Amino acid sequence: MALENLRGRVAFIFEEVNFDVDQIVGVKNIKITDIDELADAAMQSYDPDFRTSVRPGDLIIGADNFGYGHPHYPPMRAMRHIGITGVLAESFSPGYWRGEISMGFPQATCPGILGLVERWDEIEVDWTANEVRNLTKGTSLAIEPLSKADRAMLDAGGLIGYLQNQRQSAT
């Protein structure tokens, strides 16, 4: 499966630098394994109506060093379950980035993104042109190209598919 362009609305903008993604579900909920329960907990301290406001395909926006700290996987599991299909941020923390890319979750580094979008703008991430377009405002900005390995990981839908592809091409 190839990586399709992302198109959706800006469901939320995290303006906090060094944002700790665990706050999305709250640390006290981090060990919840039931995905519906986890999704119910998500974003409660930011926007209690988030779950019902999001449409499948929506994206979220982050500031510099998004994912700093000791990120766990449940927050983004919850966000995916709600319908979020990707993250654009000014920059990402490496551990978080690597963890989510291995889950097959599209993310792009986009310096200047906070100035490009407002909440609920319609945007599109074009992986071929390496740019994000604000369809509401008619503006655009370059995204940093993915490394070959990260791109292959997303194309394969995550780590398992990626490794299976690698092993097939090696034989």
Residues near other proteins (CB under 8 A): 18, 20, 22, 26-28, 30, 64-65, 68-70, 91-95, 98-99, 102-103, 147-149, 152, 159-160, 163-164, 166-167, 170
Amino acid at 20: D
Q: Least separation, in Å, of the C-beta of 111 and other proteins?
A: 12
- Our CB check for other proteins shows the closer of 5 and 166 to be 166
Q: Least separation, in Å, of the C-beta of 57 and other proteins?
A: 25
Return the bridge partners of 90, or none: none
Tokens 């405002």 locate to 137
Tokens of 8: 């959706």
Q: Give the H or E element holding residue 62.
A: strand 59-62
Q: Least separation, in Å, of the C-beta of 121 and other proteins?
A: 26
- Our CB check for other proteins shows the closer of 5 and 147 to be 147
Q: Least separation, in Å, of the C-beta of 96 and other proteins?
A: 9
- Give first-to-last CA distance, the chain, whole Å: 20
Angle between helix axes 159-170 and 148-155 (nearest 10 degrees) is 110
